[in-house]
Structure 1
Amino acid sequence: MTQDPYAALGLTRNATADEIKKAYRKIARANHPDLNPDDPAAEARFKDAGRAHDLLKDPEQRRRFDAGEIDATGAEQAPRGYYRDEARRPENPYSQKRPASGGDPFGQGFDADDFFANFARNRASGHGDNFGHAAPSDRPGQDAQYRLAVPFLDAAIGAKTRITMPDGNALEVSIPEGARDGQTLRLRGKGQPGFGAGPPGDAFIVLDVIPNPDFQREGDDIVVSLPISIDEAILGGKVPVNTITGAVNVTVPAGASSGQVLRLKGRGVKGRSGKGDQRVTLRIVSPPKIDDELKHFMESWREDHAYDPRAKKETS
């Protein structure tokens, strides 16, 4: 990941929360691995943008990064002079190696390799803090975060899938019905193992819903466009239309117009107050070829039935 999450999103540090969200979604959609197979550069941009968004979308995390308290990965940054000050502490065994004259503890007599080896050893073992002080050995494991690309229909109707974790183990994830883009799932106890008798951390799965060319989601409603022929628009009839659970027949009323919206109750996605609807926008499509018979018929019909669809209707 680039060291600057703002650069990963193509933004400056004064970007608003809304600008951060829009920039992330634009990059994620354009560089999604499912849409760019065998393109490692696009995958890298997708991952960088995801990590940057995860850091900056949280106001407190963003404040801490801007203040230099954490780095681009969310890891704590040691305050300036931290290691030097710790080395001077009387209870630090390495502080005894400093000159009695009060000179620089990092100068003559200070073994830097020994000092930082001890720092890393204690940090990893869980048997003490960074400088050998006593600390409980039983600690919970760290939480883990993953991103999961989810097909639109799987998010709409629910599904089960598996993701492969960095250690090679597979983790089964249940996608709830009506899942939204950017939604985070929490799997308790599926994070990093704990220290000693400490419990494992949790796994957080951020969902990236892949757009579908046939369906759009607006709230809990599904929106589709339905092409109909001229005769279907004039005469009406039953016409098949796709829904998220399969094709159904919809009744096109006689005299239908392009842009007219039909509503299929309960054919949307599951929300907090039940299922939404599916809105079907009609679009009249002319025949691919206008033959002489149709042309002559329309010319004859227009002579006696001409009308102006652009004329404003009179209000009573």
Structure 2
Amino acid sequence: MRDPYSTLGIARTASEKEVKSAYRKLAKELHPDKNKDNPKAAEKFSDATKAYDLLSDKDKRAQFDRGEIDAEGNPLNPFAGMGGGRPRGPGGGYGGGAQRGGGFRDSEFQGFDTDDMDLGDLFEGLFGGGRNRTAQPPPRGGFGGGGFGARGRAAPPPKKGADIQYRLAVPFVDAASGQDQRITLADGKAISLKLPAGVEDGTQMRLKGKGHAGPGGYGDGIVMVEVAAHPFFRRDGDNIRMDLPITLDEAVNGGKVKCPTVDGPVMLTLKPGANGGTVMRLTGKGWTKKSSKGDKPARGDQLVTLEIQMPKDLDGLKEKLGDWKDPAKPRERFGL
């Protein structure tokens, strides 16, 4: 995979919000479900997901920026920078290899200069033994079980299998109240999935070990949540807003009216003379909060805005009103 910043099309100074926004945009464009006839899109989608996984992790992003890991998250050469520039001792010591018999030579990647060195003496010094002992070269790949590997790098651990991407459409009311969802995995098994508190459109959930098999074990399942829109509810942070129409007589006389919530209808008490635009609060009927702790998540409120609906047949109303005029001056505060 190329540089994760380039993959997401963002600058290296991008904020967490910009990283997330860039990934969400690419994920919607490149998702395999929308590009079934374009294998390159699936590959780009996988690259974008890997780039997001790295840059959304503060520790991994810092390691990458410092050059400690590559774009795949693998450690870079732990011995980089150990070549030229060391102090030179008598007779050459450590150095750039310009002088024969100088021990380690950069031109041979700090290998042994066997032209001018007695290997028997060298290995006696390393492993002990008398002068008449036959020198044996080190085990293939380095000294000891975890010593120097090929060209000074330890062999990378076997890679896990590829991740499997899933898209989970969640109804608005289920997302708001945190209802568990059922999802069928690639192996045909259906599992119950608990939504995180404060879930929103674009939230990603990682299912450990639910990806493809690989030499280093199974990859993960990556579930992207898509919260469906609702015909009359709308989210406002941790709160849910809606407009509730009421009749003219309900506004004048007051009383109890039914009001929908994501948990089912409740009775709302109107005061006589309720005005249109009045906002009423239903405590604890909003969205689950990210700050929730314990089994029962905390929730925001539902904010209900009253809308007075005039009757379709105004003749009867006009007849009852007669010549009556409302003495109130509702626009006086505007200077009108």
Structure 2 length as normaliser, TM-score?
Answer: 0.54
Larger Rg: 2
- Name the CA distance, whole Å, in 1 between partners of 2:62 and 2:81: 21
Structure 2 match to 1:249: 267
Contact 2:8 2:26 in 1 (8 A): no
TM alignment of 1:189-208, pairs within 5 A: 203=220, 205=222, 208=225
Q: Residue 224 of structure 1: which of 235, 239, 242 is its match?
A: 242
Unpaired runs of 5+ in structure 2? Answer: 83-105, 117-139
Tell whether 2:233 aligns with 1:215. Answer: yes
What do you get for the CA RMSD once the two structures are aligned?
A: 5.3
Which has the larger helix fraction? Answer: 1
Q: Residue 159 of structure 1: which of 180, 186, 192 is its match?
A: 180
TM alignment of 1:1-316, pairs within 5 A: 3-7=2-6, 9-24=8-23, 27=25, 38=34, 50-76=49-75, 131=150, 148-151=167-170, 152-155=172-175, 156-165=177-186, 168=187, 170=189, 172-176=191-195, 178=197, 180-181=199-200, 203=220, 205=222, 208-213=225-230, 214-218=232-236, 220-269=238-287, 271-272=292-293, 275-284=298-307, 286-287=309-310, 291=314, 294=317, 300-301=323-324, 304-312=325-333
> 2:283 is aligned with what amino acid?
K
Offset from partner CA, 1:59-82 (integer Å, 9 cap, x none):
332233345554444345558799
Unpaired runs of 5+ in structure 1? Answer: 92-97, 102-117, 120-126
Structure 1 length as normaliser, TM-score?
Answer: 0.57
Contact 1:184 1:205 in 2 (8 A): yes
Offset from partner CA, 1:146-169 (integer Å, 9 cap, x none):
56535133333322322424xx45
> 1:64 is aligned with what amino acid?
Q
What's the CA shift for 1:51?
4.3
Contact 2:162 2:214 in 1 (8 A): no
- Name the CA distance, whole Å, in 1 between partners of 2:235 and 2:270: 22
Contact 2:164 2:212 in 1 (8 A): no
What's the CA shift for 1:100?
6.8
